[in-house]
Amino acid sequence: MKELETLQTWLDESRSTVFFGGAGVSTESGIPDFRSVDGLYNQKYQYPPESIISHSFFKANPEEFYRFYRDRMLYLDAKPNAAHRKLAELEKAGKLAAVVTQNIDGLHQAAGSKMVLELHGSVHRNYCLKCHKFFDVAYVKNSEGIPRCDACGGIVKPDVVLYEESLDGHTISEAVRYIEQADVLIVGGTSLAVYPAAGLINYYRGKRLVLINKTPTPYDHSADLMITGKIGEVFSQIRV
């Protein structure tokens, strides 16, 4: 494929490549995204998923929140796929500066990536809302109903950014810094529909913006190189 050759050349010539991804990066690991036809938003729940994973819903209805969250957002058996693995290899070889991700599944780190900026937090970190004690994901997964702090009895909340919550300022500014300095920016597996994360693309100043996605996005017209396809399959063909 001609597009793949161009991507390979751009990667080979790049001094600073940054990858910016979303839920589509993990679908080949068996974690559903939100907006695909078989994504979470097209399945039926008692409440729309976008309501359940909001701050106000968590406050008003934590038990229902956790029912959905444990069932549909924790995939502890999922393994990194070819995209996660190739990105980690590129970083190790000094060819990738950072991964900026909207994902909360920790699969980039599981693949060995070190510089990962998690815009929406991680299911692997959980804190007591009262005393801030840390809990791992197994604690949340194995608890019943609302997970409670074993030290003070407070409610334990995942360190993930729910709708209506703001993103961490330091993570955002680091992501902006990396994207501004990138000479190649690869954006993949994201519908680019969730703000402010999607707006980060606007900080890129170079002329080698690569979009890899299965379906069209609102930014397709801005891409210097469009690759339509599965991101794991694309990255498996990249040479480090």
- The answer to whether residue 24 forms part of the interface with ligand NAD (CB under 6 A) is yes
Interface residue with ligand NAD among 12, 76, 193, 205 (CB under 6 A) is 193
Alpha helices, H only, 112-197: 137-142, 169-181
Token duo for residue 48 = 């729309």
| List 102, 109, 113, 126, residue binding ligand NAD (CB under 6 A) | 102
Give the residue from 203, 165, 168, 174 showing the smallest Cα distance to 187: 203
Instruction: Say which residue the tokens 């501004």 belong to.
Output: 180
User: CB under 6 A: which stretch of 58-66, 134-142, 167-175, 212-220 binds ligand NAD?
Assistant: 212-220
Name the minimum Å distance from CB 130 to ligand NAD. Answer: 26
Q: Give yes or no: 108 in active site.
A: no
**Choice between 27 and 54, CB closer to ligand NAD:** 27
Q: Smallest gap, in angstroms, from Cβ of residue 122 to ligand NAD? A: 9
Type and span of the H or E element at 183: none
Q: Which of these segments, 5-13, 27-35, 59-67, 168-176, binds ligand NAD (CB under 6 A)? A: 27-35
Instruction: Find the shortest distance in angstroms from Cβ 225 to ligand NAD.
Output: 15
Q: State the SS3 of 47-100.
A: CCHHHHCEHHHHHHCHHHHHHHHHHHCCCCCCCCCHHHHHHHHHHHCCCCCEEE
Contact status, residue 20 vs residue 187, Cβ threshold 8 Å: yes
Q: Does 113 bind ligand NAD (CB under 6 A)?
A: no
State the catalytic residue, choosing from 55, 84, 108, 120. Answer: 120
Contact 31, 23 (CB under 8 A): yes
Whether 238 contacts 6, CB under 8 Å: no
Residue numbers of the site for ligand NAD (CB under 6 A)?
22-24, 26-28, 31, 33-36, 39, 102-105, 120, 189-191, 193-194, 213-215, 230-232
Report the catalytic residues.
120
